[in-house]
Amino acid sequence: MAKKSKEIWKVYKNVFSEFTLRTIFKLSSEGHFDELKSPISIGKEANIFSATKGKDKVIVKIYRLESCNFNQMYNYIKQDVRYTNLRKHRRQIIFAWVQREYRNILIARDAGCNVPKPITFKNNIIIEEFIGDKDPAPMLKDSKIKNKTKFLNEIIKNMKKLYKKGLVHADLSQFNILNHKNKPYFIDFSQATTTKASEADKYLKRDIKNIVKYFKKLGLKVDKDDVYEKITK
């Protein structure tokens, strides 16, 4: 086991900073996952991996400490009443961003939304439930929808549940909705904003615009004002 860990460390060292490596191995040693496996998404701000946990899988999302746009993160988070005392310091903002994602997903789950279960978080890493079967569930943009109208209505219902619980996703689109067994699952909740935030309504209307535009391209007749009323009434 020690030899295996040493070999894994060497591989990871070419990808992650020493600080992130320590966090990865801390979470692994606590039993939250066994080993990182396939990369699902490699981005400028975060790397997303599947990981083994016994016979199961989990998702490990690792925010990149050096390339995250922490100024943009701060613009979202400074409106959040839960983080009014947060100082504009890169690592503090990124760590708060990760914690915020965890807390927001808990709220979404409590509201009855289809979202991955948040398992734990530490520093710049969050671990979540794996949505999918053998492979990760595809993004909406990459999937075939059996019943477009039903799928859209499910998205709207989830947006309404979230809104009634006091949250707006604030970055909803075909890129962060998964299609698992013909049901929408919302992901990426770090930027989700409380409905009390000054720009919450603007973000909600932007989310609606993104969804309406996508489903119009799929041939559905849908009006963004009608969707807004369904969510907020």
Q: Which residues are catalytic?
A: 171, 188
| Structural contact between residues 48 and 61, judged by C-beta atoms closer than 8 angstroms | yes
| Structural contact between residues 37 and 51, judged by C-beta atoms closer than 8 angstroms | yes
Beta-carbon neighbour count of residue 137 at 10 Å? Answer: 21
| Pairing mode, strands 118-122 and 177-180 | unpaired
Tokens of 54: 């016994």
Name the region of 112 (left: φ>0; alpha: ψ -120 to 50; beta: rest).
left
